[in-house]
Amino acid sequence: MYEDVIERIKRQIVVDDKGCWIWQGRVDSSGYGDLRLKSTPSKTRIAHRISYEVFVARIPAGLQIDHLCRVRACVNPKHLEPVTPRENTLRSPIALASLAAQQATCKRGHAFDEKNTIWRREGGRACRTCKRDRLREFRERQRRVPADAA
């Protein structure tokens, strides 16, 4: 259906050793490939969005395209994934780095290292040690309750 668009994309890329399709055409101020077409699946000029749409599928409304390879000029549809704007912000290396710099330990001083950190689906993180302690305290309280009091 979009053979002409596909051909144009193929002519404007160079594949690097990581498999990234590096855009050789114009890039916009954000570093994203800029592709001007008369007609596109959805009205966008962002080359990687067009690439995803012609090679994979229409991007659901409101979703952003995240670069799994972190290369903004890459238009390889295999390196692209639609995400909600919030997921995209949380995943960006800058957001992760600032979060890590913010706080190295939880309120009770447990290190937020790889093993001890629970990444919440809704964003943010929790301390695994604290969670385990809370669970243990809860179970102990339960045990102390006399059976006939229930």
Which spans of this chain sit near Zn ion (rule: CB under 5 A)? 20, 69, 71, 74, 76, 79, 106, 108, 110, 127, 129-130
3-state secondary structure of 132: helix
Q: Is the dihedral of CA 101, 107, 108, 114 positive or negative?
A: negative
Q: How far is the CB of 118 from Zn ion (least distance, A)?
A: 10
CB-wise, 89 or 105, nearer to Zn ion? Answer: 105
The rounded distance, in Å, linking the Cα atoms of 77 and 80 is 5
Six-digit token pair at 51?
A: 């690439």
3-state secondary structure of 49: helix
Q: Is the dihedral of CA 83, 19, 8, 72 positive or negative?
A: positive
Q: How far is the CB of 142 from Zn ion (least distance, A)?
A: 22
The rounded distance, in Å, linking the Cα atoms of 79 and 69 is 6
CB-wise, 39 or 102, nearer to Zn ion? Answer: 102
Q: How far is the CB of 41 from Zn ion (least distance, A)?
A: 20
Q: How far is the CB of 148 from Zn ion (least distance, A)?
A: 36
CB-wise, 44 or 117, nearer to Zn ion? Answer: 117
CB-wise, 5 or 21, nearer to Zn ion? Answer: 21
